[in-house]
Every structure is written in C-alpha cells, then in structure tokens.
Structure 1
C-alpha cells in the first residue's frame, strides 16, 4: 500500500512538473548577485537588494507559445556581506529570503500556490591578481559553496510536498567556481570593460518527497560581459552600464534520471545604473530582459527581471586584524 501511494504521489508531481516546471530559470538569483568588489585591505561592505523575477512566457524549445494561462513570480531579498583581508584576498557571503507564487488559469478558474521562507546561502573566497594581464586589469578567482539554509519540504494544504522549484531551499550543498576580469579603457579613463564566469556544481537532495527520492538541480554555467562608464550630475557620480548575460542549465535529475521540461539556455541584456550618493553609499538599479531562450521541452521562461538595492562600504581599523600577506 505504501509503495502504491508513493507511486501515485510521484505521478501527480511529475504531472505538475510537465506543465509548470520553471526551476532552471526561476528561483533565488544567487549567481546574479555575487561579485562584490575588493575596496582594499580592511574594507567592509553590506549590500541589500530586492529582486523581482517574472516568468510569463511559455516556450517550447525556442518557440513562444500563445498561452498566458501560467505565471510565476519570485520576490527575493538578498543580504550580501563582504570583507577584504588584503588588497587581494577577500570573502563574500550572501543570505536570502524568497517568496514565490505560481498561478494557473484554466476554464475561468485560477489556482494560486505560494511559498515563503529563508532561502539558501553562499560563501565565496576570492583572490585578485592586479595588472597580471596588462596595465589597468584585474583578474579575480573564487571558490565557494552554497549551503542549504532554506526549507525544501514545504507541503500543500492537503499535505502533498511541493515540487522542488517552488521550495525556498534546494536541500543540497553546491560547489561554486567564480572568475572575474576587468580592464580600464585607455581611450576613456572612466570606462571599464568587465567579464565574469560562474559555474555551479549542484549537489543532491536525498530527502526529497519525504525521503523517498533523490533530487538534483542541473549544473549551471553563467557568463557576463559588460561595459560601464561614469559621469557627474548634480554633484553625484553616476555609473551607467550594460551587461550581456549567457546562462545554461543542465536538466534536473530525480533518482539519477533526467527530468523532462527542465534545462535550457538563455541570453539576456541588462541595462543598469548606479549612483554614488556619498563615498560610502551607492544605489543600484538593474533591468534584465531576455534576448533568446531555448528550453528543453515546454517551460515558462523569464519575461522581466528588476533588481534594486543599496551598498554601504566602510573601512575597519587594521590594528588588531590578521595580516594576510599579499
């Protein structure tokens, strides 16, 4: 009887995922919000961001379907903390809170599913190599991990565990590799060309569906190429920029079997603007729009993402700090 009920539950959940799976392009935007700058030995940074991600485009492969009956929204609050032990060695952490809603409208009836809770967290250790690739260049590398702080066992009112893409947490440890490069442009001293690369090696949640299954999100590769400049207006320094982002996610797996309607690749354009209110406080806004997407099977895919936040920087006295050799 137990095995039969487990089978029925799995069929029900797979049926939901076949039409509403969005875990490869929704969820908490961890990778988007990593990469605090190293402001020099003893510098400490706090960043608080709000991120809104709307998925209201149904794709089959690269084709957009004429179907607006499904919608996903993710609202995230992200707290970033960074500290530089030296001009080269620094650490960065990211803590998250997430609210997700899924709305399905069929035959005049609307079904809403909502989850809220603390999400997963990230710790990243970084090391910078200034001028290693020429004057006015900085190459940085980082390694880290995503810790499963968030719950991954939330259930519906009927007691049925929600699918993995609606959970605040993943229930698994992930490994992270990070690479960043920036170069000042000689023809315009205020301009910078930058690029970054992030690879997330996902772990397994072996407590999925009340310990009956093993779930693994697909590994993710993300690359960014951006240009930023600077101008002064009303005694305030503004930094406009534009970033092109490429993201590729492998298919999710359950019990070592690829899960249909997961995985794909996307290209986005992200205009952004930051304002340096004073030497310690900066405000940043970003708008992210899809240029191209190819999904495996049929999936909701991102329609619009907006991020806004503030970063506070200050120096810590170095008298009693550990001196890390450069």
Structure 2
C-alpha cells in the first residue's frame, strides 16, 4: 500500500485540447493500479512530492494536397458568395466563413509534471508541456473567375512547436474505505504557451495550430476507484470550460471520460520489490466546435474513443516507467478534419 499511494502525477492533456489534431490525455496515478490516461481517486500522503516526464506521439491520417484542394473547391461551389472577386486584392482577407481546411501528419509532445501531498486527502500539482505539430498544410482560398473557381493552392506551413499552456490542479479525496475511494478534481489552464508561430510567407497560424491557446480555461472532474483484490477498476470524467483566447478564438469546451482495468504481475522481476502492472483503458474525448470572432468553425470539434493497452514497470517504492498505446476505434468528427489513427505514450516517474 505504501507504493500504491506514493506517486500522483498529473497527466492533463498537453494543452487540454482534444480535437482531431491535438494531443489528448487525462490524470493518472502511475503506480500499482496505474492507468495512463484515466485518473485514479487516490491522493498522495502528506508531505510527499513526485516528479515525472512523459512523451506522447499521435499519428493522424493527413489529407493529401489534392484532397485539400478538392475540399476547397467543394466549399467554393457550395458557397460561391464567400469567394468573390473583391477578395483577390492582396490587402484583403478571405471571408472568415470559408471552410477551415488544414492537415497535420503527426503530433509529438513532452510533459514535465510535479505533484505534492498537502494532506493525506488533498494533493496539488502542475504540468508544463511542449508541443510539436509536424507538416502543417492548409488549403488556401481562391476566387471565381468567369464562372470558374481559381484556387490559390496549398500553403506548406512547415512545423509548429513550442511551450504549451501550463496547468494547475488540485485533487480532494472525499470518500475512502477498504475497497473503494472517490475524489474531486479542480484545476485551471493558464495562457503561458506560444501563440505567435508563423508559417508560409510568415503568416501567423490560427490558434488551433499553435502550442498555446491564449485562454484561461477551467477544469473540473471526478474520479472513482474500486479494488477487486487482483484487479483494480478506475473511472474518471473531466470537463474543460474554454474561454476566448488568442486571435479572438475560443477552442471549445471539452469532455474527457475514461475507464481502466489494472492488474499487477509478479513474474520476471529483477528485485523483490519490483513488479509489472498491466493496464487496459477506454478513453473518450469530446470537443465542442471552435468559435473565431463570433463565427462557428464547421471543421472543428467532434468525438474520439481510444482503446489503450499499456504496461508499467514498478522499480521499487520511488520510481517507475511505463509505455502505452492507443488506437482510435471511434472517430466522429465535425466536417473535414484529419482523423486520429493511433498514439503512444512513455512515462518516467520518481517520488521523494
């Protein structure tokens, strides 16, 4: 039980964004019953500290340049009033109601985490992420010329990377008996991340392609755990309330729900205090549509569900390492977006 209660590390999402091309995550207790994306209801003993590093890779199903151009043409044919000649002036901006059409190959993120036990039933912590988006491409606008649509092609913005938004959280365990426990999670995300990355022709990227959001977002949720003896069950929910941030953009509220089954395995271990922990999770992420200057962005938001197996090596009372994968079994996205394919996470954690 000492090991079970030693470490609590926040695994909030890299920037709490859970749209198709944003890393997703949750909160977790990386110990004997340790899910990777699901929160546990356990808190740290008073006076205990823990530190951790995690790396997450998410592969998307990117659009080809030809597909992006075809989507732009389809939007123009469906909404010709948004692609008029006056937008061909080099000083004019495209109508903001034109479809937002972009593609990202994959995302890679790193996350530093710290947690501290204020009391046996109250833990607080923070996490600081780094976000890398690979090969950002965007379908440019165009105009109708003599009844024919003249596309401006696809802009290759390269990569977008930088420090993401820092999250602060508190977890209060309000129920605890010999086999089950429950806790309340409250937190917020501060606008500490990079929001001025540029791409093709030094054009500033839209906020959803930046490492940071520029917004103050609130987070609140619940976690519940049930110990069956050889198997630990955990479930958690987390709601993110988004506010307006950089470039007058609101990235949309998010809802994250998780279920996990964990089982310790005491075979093939190099020391008496060492063992393995097998984990299977179901992770759901929903995000509301984005709003930009009061206009709802159709190609944003949606619902994704991952099936996520993982394994963690417990190297004694003070450290553990783990790796998990996930495959998107459900992706119901709004409009035209690069769908998520699979993801991996690696973690290394240490308690003091």
**Shared fold per TM-score greater than 0.5:** yes
TM-score with structure 1 setting the length:
0.77
The change in CA–CA distance for 1:137 and 1:46 in structure 2 (over 3 A counts) is same
Q: Please state how far the C-alpha of 1:102 moved relative to its aligned partner.
A: 2.6
Q: Tell me which protein shows more strand as a share of its residues.
A: 1
User: Is 1:100 matched up with 2:140?
Assistant: no
1:257 alignment partner, one of 271, 278, 295:
295
2:235 alignment partner, one of 195, 211, 226:
195
1:229 alignment partner, one of 263, 275, 280:
263
User: Is 1:219 matched up with 2:264?
Assistant: no
Kept after mapping to 1: 8 A contact 2:18/2:286: no
Equivalences for 1:42-81 in 2 at 5 Å?
Answer: 42-56=47-61, 70-81=103-114
**Rounded Cα–Cα distance in structure 2 between residues aligned with 1:105 and 1:24:** 17
TM-score with structure 2 setting the length:
0.71
SS at match of 1:230: strand
**Rounded Cα–Cα distance in structure 2 between residues aligned with 1:193 and 1:78:** 26
User: Is 1:164 matched up with 2:197?
Assistant: no
The change in CA–CA distance for 1:103 and 1:256 in structure 2 (over 3 A counts) is closer
Kept after mapping to 1: 8 A contact 2:156/2:199: no
The alignment of Structure 1 onto Structure 2 pairs a total of residues equal to 270
1:83 alignment partner, one of 116, 137, 144:
116
Which position in structure 2 is the counterpart of 1:324? none
SS at match of 2:168: strand
**Rounded Cα–Cα distance in structure 2 between residues aligned with 1:270 and 1:234:** 23
Which position in structure 1 is the counterpart of 2:221? 178
Q: Please state how far the C-alpha of 1:72 moved relative to its aligned partner.
A: 2.3
SS at match of 1:165: helix
Q: Please state how far the C-alpha of 1:154 moved relative to its aligned partner.
A: 1.6
The change in CA–CA distance for 1:130 and 1:38 in structure 2 (over 3 A counts) is same
Kept after mapping to 2: 8 A contact 1:70/1:105: yes
Cα deviation per residue 1:181-240 (whole Å; 9 max; x = unaligned)? 00101xxx13101001010001111x41xxxxx100010001001100101123331110
The change in CA–CA distance for 1:82 and 1:160 in structure 2 (over 3 A counts) is same
Kept after mapping to 2: 8 A contact 1:101/1:112: no
Cα deviation per residue 1:231-262 (whole Å; 9 max; x = unaligned)? 11233311101010111111000122211111
Q: Please state how far the C-alpha of 1:73 moved relative to its aligned partner.
A: 1.3
SS at match of 2:208: helix
Kept after mapping to 1: 8 A contact 2:18/2:254: no
Q: Tell me, which stretches of 5 or more residues in structure 2 are unaligned?
A: 1-16, 28-36, 64-101, 140-153
Q: Please state how far the C-alpha of 1:110 moved relative to its aligned partner.
A: 9.6
SS at match of 2:61: strand
**Rounded Cα–Cα distance in structure 2 between residues aligned with 1:156 and 1:238:** 44
**Rounded Cα–Cα distance in structure 1 between residues aligned with 2:118 and 2:46:** 5
Kept after mapping to 1: 8 A contact 2:251/2:291: yes
**Rounded Cα–Cα distance in structure 2 between residues aligned with 1:23 and 1:102:** 19
**Rounded Cα–Cα distance in structure 2 between residues aligned with 1:27 and 1:92:** 22
Equivalences for 1:1-12 in 2 at 5 Å?
Answer: none
**Rounded Cα–Cα distance in structure 1 between residues aligned with 2:200 and 2:299:** 26
Q: Tell me, which stretches of 5 or more residues in structure 1 are unaligned?
A: 1-21, 59-68, 209-213, 315-326
Which position in structure 2 is the counterpart of 1:274? 312
Which position in structure 2 is the counterpart of 1:124? 169
Q: Please state how far the C-alpha of 1:38 moved relative to its aligned partner.
A: 2.2
